[in-house]
Structure 1
Amino acid sequence: MAKYLYIYILPLITLLSVACTQQPQAKKVLIDSSSFATRTMQGPNRITRNIIQDKKGNIWMATFGGVYKYDGKYFTNITAKVTSARFFSILQDRKGNFWFGSVNAGTYRYDGKYFEKLTSNDGLLDNGAGAIFEDYKGNIWLGGASGITRYNGHTYDRYILKNNGIYKDFAANTKHAKHLYGVTTIIEDKHGTLWVGAGGMFRFNGKSFVAFNHNGRPFKNIRSVIEDKKGNIWIGGADGLWRYDGNTIMNITKKFVGYVYQDKAGNIWTSSERADNLYNNLPTYKNDNKAAWALSRYDANTLYTKKPTVTEVAYKPIIFGILEDDKGNIWFGDFDGVHRYDGKTITDFKVKK
């Protein structure tokens, strides 16, 4: 196969409806196998925002230097010959396709051979996607600076952030202003309720978004939301870490929490402001003892008490996405790459000088 990029622009399909939905214009980029010859043993060296493991066991990372795949030995920058975009979010859908959300440079769908780029010109509310999620029905939800887009594979529904709420957008092709806090996290709980985090916390009832508050007050700057194995909702953001059991909501810590993740054993992991003095002497495996953020583990055995036992495992200037792989290792991203914690030591995948 020739070592070139082939770009196929398919005809624009006629708009199917007025106002809220649009049919996309497919833009497929065919890359040949030579694009994967640049694999190395060095991981990403820029901001790493999100990490997932695919159905084959490969680790994927959305970074400001591109989307990387790690096969257990080598790292490959999958997007290096397609775009120079910085990437923020990543998803593998039920069909095996990957979705890569960039920082204001479009959303890319990758089927292992073709890249399809979607932008606001195709119907998306935003060119960037800080969060990507697939619901039980197979809809893809894309959260950006202006709000959220639901894509069913054919048409789009758009919901805008406005006046501390999220509202249906009935004006197709309208460019909406970026919100101070864009959509950062999206999940669907076991009851089919969609939870969306932005400047506040919102729940989608199938027709509209309703604010979810704590003690009569709205949440501020939500960064992460998950549902645990018992159906509790955990919320992380500027107000700290919260647990909601369906009836009551409890504050776990008031430290700023950026990411929340539950491992297979039931422990909750967070990236957050660290609890102790910045200049304490710490074990060397915890990295920079002057850093302001901690990778923390809340013990599963005490998780539902008033004060769960928490252990700070690693320290960095800031910590982003968290993942447990199929071998039980914990991966996390920061300003200059990705790290793997095996329970004892931390590997940073940088080339040693």
Structure 2
Amino acid sequence: MIRIKLLVITISLLILNSCNGKKTSNDLQPVNTEKKLNTPESNTNNQENKYFSSLDNQISQVVRTIFQDSKGNLWFGTQNGAFKLQGDSLIQMDKIVSASGKGVTIKDITEARDGKIWLGHTDGISSVDGNIVTNYYESDGLISNDVWSVAADDKGNIWIGTIEGMCVFDGEEFKAFKLPEGKKDKTLSISSSKMVHNIYQDTKGTLWFSSNAGLFSYVNDSLTNVSERTGIQTNFINEVFEDKKEELWVSTKAGLYNLKKDHSENITEGKIETGKGIGSIAEDKNGNLWFVSDQHHLFTYDGENLIEFEQTENNKAPVTFEIFKDRDNRLWFVGFGGAYRLENGNFINVTRNGPW
């Protein structure tokens, strides 16, 4: 059994304006923001590990996203909520909950310029400011509680992508931001014509919206359909990634595109099987791109060669939802199966006990 030390902090917050301008108050329950996880005495009844009996003490059976904040803390977004690694202590943020008080699955994490951590999940969005957790729902102005992406821009706005489109929070109210409507991806179990998969701001300040209607850029209050302008041959866009040379890469249903000013190049076309498409992208310390194809295959690209990383039964990543490089230039792979780091060509399972 996991022994949990509770730190209870009581707080009431007034949630600001909703999209329609109506004031809504959200009196929080006593805020128990942190649960420190101790080593379980036994894993015999550990439901999280029932599909991974050989792996002890997983952070979660499913880790959907990983993020490192400006203080160096690592955050893990899982099907069992959010976990923060502070020093060598893994802490569960247990007051990130649904409107009915139930647990949520974290899908995306970002940090605003004021240091607040924002988390998008299956029942809204939540902010963490020190020991204060604030949860926002449709009743507070969100266009949908089913949030898939969240990003903070350099002006302090929080952009929220949902299954029903996108809105932006300026600290006082949520305002709908209209994108063209696309099509539902019928190859996925969860999809919609308005889904926004990823929101990203590049080093030049341009915002990028990856949706089921294509790729859009937004700068100086002007929205541009980049898919149409550059010839991307699909409207199912997963994410945008900027490498250290400030080149932009776009993962799509049809392959991995290198995005130029007025055209794009599909570097995977005719070279690999994309299946359900290209997923997460990251760059290692040597400047090689890593990306996921068809949910199960890992590839590297050095600017010339596409090479599949050979996984074996004794050395393999999880079914990878996200690849992430931390400040120490370490590559993380998180997904169905938990959290792993790639070290000297070997995948190291990172459990609740580390190794950190």
Q: Do both proteins adopt the same fold according to a TM-score greater than 0.5, normalized to the shorter chain?
A: yes
Report the secondary structure of 2:37's partner residue: coil
Is contact 2:319–2:337 with CA below 8 Å preserved after alignment? Answer: no
The aligned amino acid for 2:36 is: A
2:198 aligned to which of 185, 190, 201: 185
- Superposed, which structure 2 residues align to 1:7-156 within 5 Å? 8-11=11-14, 25=25, 27-28=27-28, 30-32=30-32, 35-40=34-39, 42-71=57-86, 73-79=88-94, 83-103=102-122, 105-156=123-174
Q: 1: CA distance between counterparts of 2:13 and 2:255?
A: 47
Q: CA RMSD in A?
A: 3.1
The aligned amino acid for 1:203 is: S
- Number of aligned positions between the proteins: 310
The aligned amino acid for 2:227 is: N
2:280 aligned to which of 232, 241, 259: 259
The aligned amino acid for 1:96 is: G
1:293 aligned to which of 293, 296, 306: 296
Is contact 1:220–1:239 with CA below 8 Å preserved after alignment? Answer: no
Report the secondary structure of 1:121's partner residue: helix
Change (3 A) 1:348 1:81: same
Q: Which residue in 1 is equivalent to 2:255?
A: 240
Q: Which residue in 1 is equivalent to 2:340?
A: 339
* Greater CA drift, 108-117 or 66-75: 66-75
Tell me the alpha carbon deviations over residues 171-213 of structure 1, each in whole angstroms, 9 at most, x when there is no partner: xxxxxxx834611111123333211001121122444533222
Q: Which residue in 1 is equivalent to 2:53?
A: none
The structural deviation recorded for 1:115 is: 0.7
Is contact 2:17–2:172 with CA below 8 Å preserved after alignment? Answer: no
Tell me the alpha carbon deviations over residues 213-262 of structure 1, each in whole angstroms, 9 at most, x when there is no partner: 26646533211111222332210021110001213311111422111123
Q: 1: CA distance between counterparts of 2:95 and 2:13?
A: 23
Gaps of 5+ in 1: 166-177, 274-291
Q: 1: CA distance between counterparts of 2:343 and 2:235?
A: 33
Change (3 A) 1:80 1:312: farther
The aligned amino acid for 1:37 is: K
Tell me the alpha carbon deviations over residues 28-55 of structure 1, each in whole angstroms, 9 at most, x when there is no partner: 455458x433344834232211111122
Q: Which residue in 1 is equivalent to 2:305?
A: 308
Q: 1: CA distance between counterparts of 2:148 and 2:133?
A: 19
The structural deviation recorded for 1:73 is: 3.7
Change (3 A) 1:217 1:243: closer
The aligned amino acid for 1:154 is: E
Report the secondary structure of 1:45's partner residue: coil
Q: Which residue in 1 is equivalent to 2:47?
A: none
The aligned amino acid for 1:121 is: S
Q: Which residue in 1 is equivalent to 2:188?
A: none
Tell me the alpha carbon deviations over residues 37-82 of structure 1, each in whole angstroms, 9 at most, x when there is no partner: 3344834232211111122322211111111123464432222785
The structural deviation recorded for 1:27 is: 4.8
Q: 2: CA distance between counterparts of 1:14 and 1:194?
A: 24
Gaps of 5+ in 2: 41-56, 184-190
Q: Which residue in 2 is equivalent to 1:220?
A: 235
Is contact 1:100–1:109 with CA below 8 Å preserved after alignment? Answer: yes
Is contact 1:107–1:119 with CA below 8 Å preserved after alignment? Answer: yes
Report the secondary structure of 1:253's partner residue: coil
TM-score by length of 2: 0.76
The runs of 4+ residues in structure 1 deviating greater than 6 Å are none
Change (3 A) 1:249 1:162: closer
Change (3 A) 1:84 1:115: same
Percent of matched pairs sharing the same residue: 25
